[in-house]
Structure 1
């Protein structure tokens, strides 16, 4: 599906001829990043300082560009920046918080796979406090903070600043209006050569449609606003969803709730199963309707009286700062049209999106997308014509339709993330994603399916862990050389 454009091999060969044996190499065999070249500098706006925004800022800086990163929060981290329990009057909405983290969250990917390609997420590294393979969310935040410090990215970020609007101007440049949080004015407008959107997609809740729910007397909440189980003490809770958050939160709430019932859209209509190891946790088919007497009826006709319905039903892509001149729309969670999920053909490369795909290992994908965008903006990598990009988009949609893939799964990469990653790597002259990382991801998926309750603490891929840790040692040696050259280590 993802095949490099013609001419890429020639570009890679030409680039490789510039390598010298005297230049320090990464374990991939690629050269260490060179100092930026000011003559190539473009002034760029990056929206968001989560993992995607940090990756973009680093790669753009490496290419000699001058990124300005806009971040609503007071610190980097994006969705990994935990906020206290929400007190919003709208528990189904996004409220005032960006993060969707709950207090007990641990990663559902092993840490070895999660890190950026040249900055290992290794237990025992400087700043690490949780050595587990599947650490708490605070450990991921510490890793991102360390990444930002290591590459001197914090100086690029305007904290507590929201982007109000992004407007295209003549000549392909973009007017970006921003303002400090709490300001009531119209904000400050600045013009940038290009805009890179990295605002994430785990903030605006997607709500399940339930017949009769408007007359149902209970409380509804989206998992975006869930933090701790104590508020559900002795209550009957129905959780809608079958994803990682639904699984984790149902077990979390079961520690305090009277009963927890999971409504799974993919479960057969006659499903009603008590879950092994729990006295108060059941799996059901999807909700059929809600009634005024407080009852909730499932597809098999059974019903319970519930206090709470929690929607663990995912999120919507949302870009409130973009106008019609961005040339993209969001329809049933498809951001359209985007060439390779990054560039809107009509305005490429002056507008790009980092981090839309899901069902992926996110950080390496963010890094490769960012490398591609940075290289294109630097003129080292050339995009196809607008017509060819649109043709590629339409061909991709046709493949999805032929598979019966719903539109809302356009950016679901569960079947081909590494094919995509390696395509991006080829565009950038970067080696493919490491085989151990791909194998470890597959091992974890199988272990999680076979042992959903214990996969975070029991596994059978220690040979891959050993390979990853050996690989990390090489990278740590490389970065010592880099830091010495930058006079950051004495």
Structure 2
């Protein structure tokens, strides 16, 4: 390799991508960040536009929220070659929404984990910043961070990764850039180029999960504007004087219920009684939790509004005006479709697959390194964490390994550790659950890096400080106080992105 400077592709410019790029750059690596939208910030970018609704049902994780069109899958192209698609000069709102759908942030979104716990290294919040801020403040913080550390110059905006593949020891990225200005406005530029290393930081709030409930597809077809996924929720005013059914009892459902409670006439929250349901005490007083849904009544041609819904306990809900599907998202890597197995259950995942039913990412060491090939890494996978700071520790670990300042264990050791974790926690969503253990995870990660530093001479890593850990103990008290204050003020609820509770002690969360 000689003096070759290794190239790293980072997919995504949300918090995971920009902190990853910052630490990789500072480790002496050449970094390119691919971001399909127009700005950095990921889930913390508020966009008034609503995404195009997913398929009904949407149960195939490999499809995600875009369809790979194949135009970038050209073999035999030299590294860095570009082409302009001269036949496709269209420019429409729908095309732009399909290319880079808006995220799930809504106008009243705030963090649920104190800003004191969400401060990135070397970049303090402005003095006087309150514990809880609106989405626009968090968006501004991340974008200012990106500019301050000159990550901004590394980001290729309006550029979507269509396919990622390993060929002859190198990762090849097929990407498409939507041209926004000049004589070629509305056309696509395609590029095929090689990288030594890859960081996937694309998050897991882009591929909506829409369950296959009898009659739901027909309702969506008959009343397309009255049935939607929570990703499209923006403002409570849209639900004024309506009877609303929220499908799912997780954080998104709780938040939307609180937001619309001062506007809606009646709110039902349908729960199957799953392990990730928030406690009833967290719901707005106006929200009634009901049983899971058995079926939606088949609509008649002349029916002007949604009608009745049958629950699994036999109850029938009538007069439903709006349905919001709060059933979360799939883990999805459509640019790595060859490592998906849509037909397998999580328990059936083989040693090379990354995604099966969308409930987890398989075969990762420490939820970071792809065990069959650790030159592929992930930042931002776990749940129940203080996202900003936790993901930065993961980014530091990736930068250490990719720059040669640390080494992952042998493949056999990583496989054995991963299989033991699956045995203890079970396959599926729970394997990424760090509820109550995120500090221990960071301590173990720092300990491993520091042991390596003894040999390499690298700078040692300090885990969460005592001050940070003491502040974290105040989360339940502060969050409950926040909720009570919102209940008295009206319809401005807390975030679904940082905190979820499923038992009485509240915990960190980054799930929606």
TM-score by length of 1: 0.76
Query: Relative contact order, CA 8 A, sep 6+: which one is greater?
Result: 2
Q: 2:268 matched to which residue of 1?
A: 261
Q: 1:158 matched to which residue of 2?
A: 156
Structure 2 SS opposite 1:324: helix
Describe the shift of the 1:132–1:389 C-alpha distance in structure 2 as closer, same or farther (beyond 3 A): same
Q: 2:361 matched to which residue of 1?
A: 335
Describe the shift of the 1:248–1:432 C-alpha distance in structure 2 as closer, same or farther (beyond 3 A): same
| Among candidates 373, 392, 414, match of residue 389 of structure 1 | 414
1:207-263 CA-partner distances (Å, limit 9, x unpaired): 234334344455421111111122222221111233332122112222322211112
Mapped partners of 2:488, 2:409: distance in 1 = 46
| Among candidates 90, 96, 105, match of residue 109 of structure 2 | 105
Say if 1:338 and 1:344, in contact at 8 Å, map to a contact too. yes
Structure 1 SS opposite 2:432: coil
Q: 1:289 matched to which residue of 2?
A: 295
Structure 1 unaligned runs (5+)? Answer: 1-37, 125-130, 459-490
Say if 1:267 and 1:284, in contact at 8 Å, map to a contact too. no
1:61-119 CA-partner distances (Å, limit 9, x unpaired): 11111101111111111111111131636586756324110111111111111121442
Q: Is 1:301–2:323 an aligned residue pair?
A: no
Q: 1:134 matched to which residue of 2?
A: 132
Mapped partners of 1:87, 1:62: distance in 2 = 35
Say if 1:448 and 1:455, in contact at 8 Å, map to a contact too. no
The alignment covers a number of residue pairs equal to 404
Mapped partners of 2:164, 2:284: distance in 1 = 52
Q: Is 1:213–2:216 an aligned residue pair?
A: yes
Mapped partners of 2:111, 2:247: distance in 1 = 21
Describe the shift of the 1:325–1:175 C-alpha distance in structure 2 as closer, same or farther (beyond 3 A): farther
Q: 1:180 matched to which residue of 2?
A: 177
Q: 1:472 matched to which residue of 2?
A: none
TM-score by length of 2: 0.72
For residues 23-422 of structure 1, the aligned pairs below 5 Å read 41-86=5-50, 88=52, 90=54, 94=65, 96=98, 97-124=101-128, 131-170=129-168, 172-181=169-178, 187-216=190-219, 219-266=226-273, 278=285, 280-292=286-298, 294-305=307-318, 306-324=320-338, 327-332=352-357, 333-348=359-374, 350-401=375-426, 407-422=428-443
Structure 2 SS opposite 1:453: helix
Mapped partners of 1:457, 1:55: distance in 2 = 37
Say if 1:168 and 1:325, in contact at 8 Å, map to a contact too. no
Say if 2:284 and 2:487, in contact at 8 Å, map to a contact too. no
Mapped partners of 1:192, 1:267: distance in 2 = 42
Say if 1:55 and 1:367, in contact at 8 Å, map to a contact too. yes
Describe the shift of the 1:395–1:90 C-alpha distance in structure 2 as closer, same or farther (beyond 3 A): closer
| CA root-mean-square deviation | 2.9
Say if 1:103 and 1:227, in contact at 8 Å, map to a contact too. yes
Describe the shift of the 1:233–1:451 C-alpha distance in structure 2 as closer, same or farther (beyond 3 A): closer
Mapped partners of 1:307, 1:232: distance in 2 = 9
Structure 2 SS opposite 1:335: coil
Structure 2 unaligned runs (5+)? Answer: 59-64, 66-96, 180-185, 300-306, 341-351, 450-459, 490-512
Mapped partners of 1:407, 1:276: distance in 2 = 26
Structure 1 SS opposite 2:153: helix
Structure 1 SS opposite 2:288: strand
Deviation at 1:121, TM superposition (A): 3.0
Structure 1 SS opposite 2:364: coil
Say if 1:102 and 1:227, in contact at 8 Å, map to a contact too. yes
Mapped partners of 1:330, 1:409: distance in 2 = 14
Mapped partners of 1:116, 1:455: distance in 2 = 27
Mapped partners of 1:43, 1:276: distance in 2 = 48
Describe the shift of the 1:450–1:307 C-alpha distance in structure 2 as closer, same or farther (beyond 3 A): same
Structure 1 SS opposite 2:109: coil
Consecutive aligned runs of 4 or more in structure 1 exceeding 6 Å deviation: 273-277, 455-458
Deviation at 1:162, TM superposition (A): 0.9
1:162-211 CA-partner distances (Å, limit 9, x unpaired): 111111021x2111111212676682111111111111111111223433
Mapped partners of 1:411, 1:173: distance in 2 = 29
Q: 2:76 matched to which residue of 1?
A: none
Say if 2:13 and 2:42, in contact at 8 Å, map to a contact too. yes
Q: 2:499 matched to which residue of 1?
A: none
1:366-411 CA-partner distances (Å, limit 9, x unpaired): 111111111111111111111111111101100113xxxx612221
Describe the shift of the 1:211–1:224 C-alpha distance in structure 2 as closer, same or farther (beyond 3 A): same
Q: 2:73 matched to which residue of 1?
A: none
Say if 2:53 and 2:228, in contact at 8 Å, map to a contact too. no
1:290-336 CA-partner distances (Å, limit 9, x unpaired): 22262113344332221222111211111111143694321232211
Say if 2:244 and 2:267, in contact at 8 Å, map to a contact too. yes
Say if 2:104 and 2:205, in contact at 8 Å, map to a contact too. yes
1:13-38 CA-partner distances (Å, limit 9, x unpaired): xxxxxxxxxxxxxxxxxxxxxxxxx9
Mapped partners of 1:151, 1:161: distance in 2 = 21
Say if 2:178 and 2:189, in contact at 8 Å, map to a contact too. no
Mapped partners of 1:373, 1:277: distance in 2 = 41
